[in-house]
Amino acid sequence: MSNRIWIRMGDGERVSMAPDEVKKDLSAGTQDAADKGRIPELTQEELDQLFEIFADPNRIVAVSPGEEVITTDDGASGIMVVDQPDGGTALPMGYFNAVLAFERICCADTAGMGHYDYSCKPVKSIINYEKQRYYMYSQATTIPLIYGTQPNLGLYFQPDGPFPNAAELIPQGKIEEARRAQEMAAEALIEDLVFCAKELYEVGCDGFNFDTSGSAGDADFYATLKAVTKLKTIAPDMAIEIGMASEFVLGLHGGIEYNGKRLAGMFPHEQVKVVEEAGADIFGPAINVSTTASTPWNLARAVTFVKETVAVANIPVHPNVGMGVCGVPMVEVPPIDSVTRASKALVQIGKADGL
């Protein structure tokens, strides 16, 4: 066993592989990303570097001094106070204290905060409460405080919302009706996103994170982009981060465009260009994880996409590195060995500007 390397599967299971098996999975992972995204594979030198990261016998790995990057998050401090479904620890403390602990104990570069539900629609009805919270927290934090919310177009369809459910119409062959429903829902979402962000801007909001964008497909992504475009006019001093839901924009509408560009089917290196056009300041690609493939395969794949995205981007790129994306196993408690390997590889080889 001594010449074998301990790695994880995409579901977090720890297994050992022979060095040649790891190398084979690294090559297959980068080839898969290159094929799907029509982008360059990692070079042999980069694959060798990635192999060394996996072969490192230490449980925790890290970047070299001088390579450190900025961290942004989707309300990660809230993990201290929420419970199991959100990966939380349910400490008997308030969100305010969690944000301060995130700044002063965890030493984060920025802190995210948001409504416990995190979707935009529920925030609208309690916006005054959220404004009070943001203003209060903002007076006490030194690091940038970023309010986050998920566009989540799905909440605008029946039975949760007013519009016919596209996911029910499509299987019935009612394609045009499904498209109209998504277009109407997107307009309502744009209005809500702009409303919430504008209200927070008025109490000094320094940053707004549209997190898990595109979770309901291309119309969801479209609504996010349109909202950002409007906000950059009415809230010019508020930075905007767009984090994606997955590596590929699902074409539930199929024909919706932003500035003449069809959104369905876009991969991260294409997503970042429309995100830039919309005026966002930071982009967070999310590369899917296969739970049945190894972390060498998954991480090689993620690094290939991220490297190309960073190469074409004119804005900082912060890959999403929560559970189940960008090489981090899809499991409730992601193992530290895998988390730090993803962290190091995305920065050292992917050249990410942050995480």
Partner 1 sequence: MSTAHIMASGMCGIRTAGDLVAWMQLTRRMKINEAKQYVAGKLGIDVADLCNEDVMQDVRKKFDIGNICAAADGVKGITAKSRIADLLDISINSVNLFKSKLTAPLH
Residues of this chain that bind partner 1 (CB under 8 A): 60-63, 65-73, 76, 79, 87, 103-104, 106-110, 138-145, 201, 203-207, 237-239, 281-282, 313-316, 321-323, 328, 334, 336, 339-340, 343-344, 346-347, 352-355
DSSP codes joined into one string, 245-291: SSSS---SSSS-EETTEE-TT--HHHHHHHHHHHT-SEEE---B--T
Bond before 285 cis per omega within 30 degrees: no
Task: Report the residue number, 184 or 203, with the smaller CB distance to partner 1.
Answer: 203
Q: Give me the least distance between CB of 354 and partner 1, in Å please.
A: 7
Strands 257-258 and 261-262: antiparallel
Task: Report the residue number, 26 or 346, with the smaller CB distance to partner 1.
Answer: 346
Task: Report the residue number, 18 or 55, with the smaller CB distance to partner 1.
Answer: 55
Order of strands, sheet of 282-284, starting from the edge strand that comes earlier in the sequence: 111-113, 145-149, 207-213, 239-244, 282-284
The dihedral region occupied by 90, where left means phi > 0, alpha psi between -120 and 50, and beta the remainder, is: left
Q: Give me the least distance between CB of 71 and partner 1, in Å please.
A: 4
Q: Give me the least distance between CB of 353 and partner 1, in Å please.
A: 4
Give the DSSP H/E element, type plus range, for residue 148. strand 145-149
Task: Report the residue number, 190 or 355, with the smaller CB distance to partner 1.
Answer: 355
Q: Give me the least distance between CB of 247 and partner 1, in Å please.
A: 19
Q: Give me the least distance between CB of 226 and partner 1, in Å please.
A: 20
Residue 239: strand pairing partners: 207
d(CA 29, CA 24): 9
Q: Give me the least distance between CB of 28 and partner 1, in Å please.
A: 25
Residue with tokens 């005054």: 128
Query: Which CA distances in Å does 26 have to 48, 60, 298?
Result: 9, 20, 8
Q: Give me the least distance between CB of 346 and partner 1, in Å please.
A: 8
Give the residue from 298, 286, 292 showing the smallest Cα distance to 25.
298
Task: Report the residue number, 11 or 21, with the smaller CB distance to partner 1.
Answer: 11
Task: Report the residue number, 3 or 139, with the smaller CB distance to partner 1.
Answer: 139
Q: Give me the least distance between CB of 342 and partner 1, in Å please.
A: 8
Running DSSP on this structure, what letter comes out for residue 57?
-
Task: Report the residue number, 87 or 164, with the smaller CB distance to partner 1.
Answer: 87
Task: Report the residue number, 61 or 249, with the smaller CB distance to partner 1.
Answer: 61
Q: Are 166 and 181 spatial neighbours (Cβ–Cβ below 8 Å)?
A: yes
Q: How many other CB atoms sit within 10 Å of the CB of residue 159?
A: 5
